[in-house]
């Protein structure tokens, strides 16, 4: 494990709330160009819940419901996304097989508190990545718990790629997704999705905590009428994210 220097303060920018997405608020006004103003690294989704968003090195990709990936255009919009300028403070060399849980244990042992946000990235060779991607939705929108019932799952084997994610504190459940939330794209930038599980054989893990949170709230009719505090919030988020 090695330490990396940090040149600027980390700010986590967020468009909307996870609880809004859960309630079927699938359209936002934030464009990909606007997201890039707030970071070079992040994840989220696209309007109409049309696939998963993964951003790194200033590039944003759309991971679609058929398992394919493509570069996002600047005018595409998101109903929910989280972005930051990635400034990792720790680096860990992966020289033997690690499960998802073992990678998380590496991070958990280093970060000072589970009350902090943490951004993470793995560049490496993965023997297995299990992903899912929700297909595009149409009005009248179903709650996300119903929408994900249609989601296909994919099993990517023996591929190099990039996995990025965030660790979010438990007290932020509903505002974001508490715990680890990760997306993956392969080296060819042709496939990927929301990560359910993975095993990485070798590569590099970089991570660092985030000090500030900034949220842009939408003010459209869908958001203003949404139930942002459902009784089953915890169970619903766990169901749609795992």
Longest CA span, the chain = 51
User: Rounded to the nearest 10 degrees, how much is the dihedral formed by the CA atoms of 74, 215, 141, 173?
Assistant: 130
On the question of pLDDT at 41 being above 80, the answer is yes
Here the tokens at position 37 are 């103003």
pTM above 0.85, yes or no: yes
What are 121-178's pLDDT values in tens digits? Answer: 999 999 999 999 989 999 999 989 898 888 899 999 999 999 999 999 999 999 999 9
Q: Quickly tell me which residue has 């988020």 as its tokens.
A: 237
Distance, first Cα to last Cα, the chain: 29
At 6 the pLDDT is: 43
Average pLDDT score over residue span 67-76: 97
In percent, the amount of the chain with pLDDT more than 70 equals: 97
Q: Identify whether the C-beta of residue 177 lies closer than 8 Å to the C-beta of residue 241.
A: yes
At 191 the pLDDT is: 96
Instruction: Output the average pLDDT for the chain.
Output: 94
In percent, the amount of the chain with pLDDT more than 90 equals: 83
């Amino acid at each position: 494990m090695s330490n990396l220097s940090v040149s600027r303060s980390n700010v986590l920018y967020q468009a909307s709330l996870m609880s809004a997405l859960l309630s079927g608020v699938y359209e936002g006004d934030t464009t990909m160009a606007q997201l890039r103003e707030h970071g070079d690294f992040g994840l989220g989704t696209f309007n109409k819940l049309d696939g998963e968003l993964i951003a790194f090195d200033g590039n944003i990709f759309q991971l679609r419901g058929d398992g394919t990936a493509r570069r996002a255009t600047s005018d595409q919009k998101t109903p929910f996304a989280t972005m930051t300028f990635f400034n990792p403070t720790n680096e860990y060399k992966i020289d033997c097989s690690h499960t998802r849980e073992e990678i998380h244990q590496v991070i958990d042992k280093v970060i000072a508190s589970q009350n902090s946000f943490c951004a993470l990235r793995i560049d490496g060779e993965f023997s297995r990545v299990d992903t899912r991607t929700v297909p595009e939705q149409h009005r009248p929108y179903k709650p996300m718990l119903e929408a994900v019932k249609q989601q296909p799952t994919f099993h990517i084997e023996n591929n190099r790629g990039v996995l990025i994610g965030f660790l979010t504190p438990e007290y932020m459940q509903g505002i974001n997704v508490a715990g680890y939330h990760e997306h993956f794209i392969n080296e060819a930038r042709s496939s990927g999705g929301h990560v359910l599980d993975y095993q990485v054989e070798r590569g590099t893990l970089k991570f660092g905590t985030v000090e500030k949170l900034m949220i842009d709230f939408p003010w459209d009719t869908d958001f203003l009428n949404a139930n942002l505090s459902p009784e089953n919030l915890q169970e619903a988020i766990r169901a749609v994210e795992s």
